[in-house]
Structure 1
Amino acid sequence: MVKPSILPEGGKKEASKEAKGTEASLPAFAVIPLGTDLPPKYDDCTVEAAPIPVVNRPRKLGVCLCVSMLLTLLLIIGLAVVMFLGHASGKYQFRCGVGYGDYKDYPSSHEDRGTLEEEVEVDPFEGYEQIEIPEQDYCERLTILHDFTVNMTAYRLRRSQVCYVTFLDKEIVMGPDEFIERAEENPQFLTDHYETVHETYRVVLPELTPTSLNSGRFGFYIPMLCDGVESYWIEKIPEDELEAWEAYWASQDQEDSESREDGHDQDDDDDFELPNPEHRRRRAVGGASDVKEFLAFEGHKLSKFKIYTKEAVEAFKKASNKN
């Protein structure tokens, strides 16, 4: 066994000096030439770089093109559908100037005598026809609405603020599809001369209430047309009763005429002479007209309507009860 030798304390110092001398022999810094290639410096811990996603540009571009083409195709199809539905559900506007033979019975300031002017709106998709007739010498302005979904017709007289509703008469009213077809095939259809048929109606009491009008029985458009005015159901006077009605009102017209000749029952309105006794205004019921008359072209024929109003019905019933 070798016995370790312990250096004296002085020996330790000498050894320390030798170590320091060795360190002191190295230069404080080293000058490295600029052209020297330095080896890469690595840290103690290795840092792994994050992977960079690789984008497949051709594939992405193809997807965008497919989506764009699909959207364009859908847009084209949508426009085609809208155009088709718009044509199918569109409203057709027509202007009529039909002629008739008995116009000479009524004086007029129009240069073109014997012509009835109308504006007709036809909607085959909604199933209605609306006719606007301007005010003329023998009748006030009115709107006629034929609703083929419920087979009913409404007449709204604008100045009188009254609306009359009845069943649609397809013998004189032409359907929307047929009306459009004839007008497009033959524009003269809207200006031809037509025979006149006479239609006589009477009011059925009581008045139609807003509740009954909006019950669904009268469809959608008729309640809108008659909203806010007195509305009545009207019916054709049977042939066996029509003679009695005509005779009664002929006698009333005669009485009115004699009263005027005697100077009785005069007011400011008497200065206006109506062209026919049938159009005479009776003042006994507060200035209301007992009879409403107007002309209308509704596709097949030109119709001359006579409607005995509420006042006329009440007066006729009263006279009948006395007899």
Structure 2
Amino acid sequence: MSDEQEFAGNAVSAASAQSSKSDPGWERNVLEKLAFESLREQRRRRRWGIFFKALGFAYFGFILFMVWGGGGKADKEGKGGEHTALVQIEGPIAPGADASAENVIDALRSAFEDNGTRGVILRINSPGGSPVQSGIINDEIARLRKAHADIPLYVVVEDICASGGYYIAVAGDKIFVDKASIVGSIGVRMDGFGFTEAMKKLGVERRLLTAGENKALLDPFSPEVPRHVEHAKSMLAEIHQQFIDVVRKGRGNRLKETPEMFSGLFWSGAKSIELGLADGYGTVDSVAREVIKAPEVRDYTARENIAERFAKRFGASVMSGITGGADEVRWR
């Protein structure tokens, strides 16, 4: 039953009561009650309509604030005053991730450009990720260190600094670890799956048309082609050598090379110091206090706001569905 029907029913009930008292004007009373109830209902609907419109505008305004005024990039507040600037790399290094080159570089620039910065600490806790993103960050650190020669940059490793994470770490002046940290994994990988045998059992036929004889290179639904595999291995070897060159340049004569150093193995923090992959033990607080001599630590890490994160994740899910999870090259 609708609200109008309920109100009308109440009015009729009231009218019936009046009729029982032999009121000659009961018909008029019924019409008046119906008119008044209809008017009240219209006013109630209008008030609720205004309320929900105001709520919608408030929500829209909040979203705009989070996108443009919510501090989605590096925190640039608190300029001035001697301090140690902190930039954190957490999780996989990849486009669109928290540890993307865009976010890390934005934070590093803010840290170096602050007049109160006496040193920068790059805290890394990452298993690696994109060679391109790692390389961009490494190159930018080298540029910033030249542009701000009086500001040192130290790397502090927490749980893990492997592959792309270590590629970035070697750009620092020194690398500090915990004795149980995981360091290394200097290598490159390309992974995927092959479904040809499963397709045979299921009676599935692969139909693939290409323009270009190598366009279907490493297609997971087609048998492997030896020359395609060799081409991929050649490319991986080239990127691996780039990684090795960067490590040698960054660590210099501190590096004590062994046959297994660039094989993809990783070591504990204690062993990494022995091998020259790291320089000593330290935490963010100890390095800020004892090495940089500026115990106040200010975090410049770029963090996405809610709206940006939702937009990126939505876009990533759409692209994942389009690409179907193609093979990718990763440090780790």
TM-score class, shorter: under 0.3
Higher relative contact order by CA 8 Å / sep ≥ 6: 1 or 2?
2
- Structure with more of its chain in helix, by fraction: 2
In the superposition, the TM-score normalised over structure 1's length comes to: 0.27
Which structure carries more strand by proportion?
1
